[in-house]
Amino acid sequence: METKKGKVYLVGAGPGDPGLITVKGRECIELADVIVYDYLASPSLLKYAKKESEIIYVGKQGGDHTLSQEGINALITEKAEKGFTVTRLKGGDPFIFGRGAEEAEVLIENGISFEVVPGVTSAIAAPAYAGIPLTHRTFTSTVAFVTGHEDPGKEESGINWEALAKGIGTIVFLMGVKNLPNIVIRLMNHGMPPDTPVALVRWGTTPKQSSVSGTLGNIVERVQAAGIKSPAVIVVGNVVKLKEKMDWFEKRPLFGKRIAVTRAREQASDLVSMLSALGAECLEFPTIKVEPPEDFSPLDKAIENLSTYDWLIFTSVNGVSFFFERLFANGRDMRSFHKIKTAVIGPATSDRLFGYGLKSDIIPENYMAESVVDAFRKENLKGKRVLLPRAEEARAILPEELAKMGATVDEIAAYRTRAVTSEAADLIKELKNKTIDLITFTSSSTVKNFAALLPAGMVEELTKDVTVAAIGPITADTAKDLGFKVSIIAESFTIPGLCDAILQHYAKK
């Protein structure tokens, strides 16, 4: 029986900022059985892929080809002929110097169905992120996109340099850094004034973005002095004059800072998003992962006897999530809480609880166990039963102090945290190379596991030039005890509070 052929999606991954992927582009990643991606396609987009998807890297970097274009054509054809849905993920837009048309022609020759999903090209995005509008009523209404990759040794250029030099207001060259001297000479030889503004933008739209500007007369020397290499776009025209005034991306408060995020990967997104929005490059080095307890029977028994409890206390978002997941697995619903009061630590935990339809009766002013204890001093706990579903290993102060007030406290493991060691080598390499500016710790467990990843006795040496930020005093004390020099302690023990503290630290500098 003949296998039904699959389909290929030629998808533009955008210029580097993963947020610039189109909605349809993301859907194609989610749908794919096979993903074939390029050097300039952000690897973070692969998180949208199915777990069972085959991921194949075919990047081309500085003349070093993982796979030739002919090989890529054969690969996507072979996968589609086997019946797979293939997403060919290409940096920028597949039809703007992306060889997408060549791949489409091969698919047509082989009778394979395909769709083209346009992407945001770096020709537009990189200048925009550098504060350069390609058109402006005061300056120009014409734009040209040109390959900068022509061989300067060619006898005849395929580019009409005279038309570019005299008839186009803004010219954007892609892949032209190596040929910059030749581009400059050709434009000036065909009549473009030496004082014409020029800018180069490297790694546009990403936290690694850097740019340099000048004129045709001096841009080669300035680029060499700045060390600008590929990948970069070259913008030529009077619109470059607006760069200094409109340069918004590189002026963000944390731009250029490389921040290590140690939170569990599934929980790191909010912190990463906030720091990234402020300009930081976030390096995810999760030191813990959150897992169910080895044995659910104690929690199941507590849920079975839920009506016998007077208070239910949650100390984390994880506690809420694992508790309700188990509640529903046991065939219960919100009617089980008709007479139980609740208390939480922190607004995030309160919000998660409210997401299940329960408004907490107690939310302390400060987000620590001690504050919950203080809040309960106003309550009569004598003879009351308290259920405390939380991490397998947690501070003892809360159950101990509640017991002193007369409560019977059942402390049940709703989840556990485990150390993550898979990325230790990469972390140590970054620290040794002094490429990390700041480390964030959001709990004592992240601190302990981070320290455990480092060679014995090397905490102080490897982090002496790194700023350390802790979400609160308990976490900070743990860090100090293990040899970290803590420079930032959030006053509000939340993710937004931690980000605010980091901002204030750098603002003072």
Q: What positions carry a catalytic annotation?
A: 38, 60, 175
What's the 3-state SS for 405-473? Answer: CCCEEEEEEEEEEEECCCCHHHHHHHHHCCCCCEEEECCHHHHHHHHHHCCCCCHHHHHCCCEEEECCH
CB neighbourhood size of 359 (10 A) = 9
3-class secondary-structure state, position 169:
coil
CB neighbourhood size of 173 (10 A) = 27
How is residue 36 written in tokens?
A: 């074939």
Q: Answer for the pair 202, 209: CB distance below 8 angstroms, yes or no.
A: yes
Cα angle 339, 340, 342; round to 5: 145
Q: CA torsion angle for 69, 71, 72, 76 (degrees, to 10)?
A: 150
C-alpha–C-alpha distance, residues 274 and 133, integer Å: 26
How is residue 369 written in tokens?
A: 């166990």
C-alpha–C-alpha distance, residues 495 and 481, integer Å: 23
Q: Answer for the pair 53, 105: CB distance below 8 angstroms, yes or no.
A: no
C-alpha–C-alpha distance, residues 479 and 213, integer Å: 44
Give the amino acid at 149: H
In which region does residue 131 sit, left (phi positive, over 0), alpha (psi from -120 to 50) or beta (all else)? Answer: left
DSSP annotation of 140: B
3-class secondary-structure state, position 176:
coil
Distances (CA, A) of 90 to 41, 192, 347: 6, 34, 41
Interaxial angle between packed helices 317-329 and 297-304, expressed in degrees from 0 to 180 and rounded to the nearest 10: 70
Q: What are phi and psi of 347, to 5 degrees?
A: -70, -35
Scan for tokens 């849905």, then name that residue.
85
The bridge status of strand 232-236 relative to strand 258-261 is: unpaired
Q: What are phi and psi of 286, to 5 degrees?
A: -60, 130
How distant is the alpha carbon of residue 103 from its chain centre? 30
CB neighbourhood size of 46 (10 A) = 16
C-alpha–C-alpha distance, residues 315 and 310, integer Å: 17
| Contacts for 323-330: CB closer than 8 Å, 24+ residues apart | 323/299, 323/389, 323/414, 324/356, 326/296, 326/299, 326/300, 326/414, 327/303, 330/300, 330/303, 330/304
Cα angle 157, 160, 161; round to 5: 90
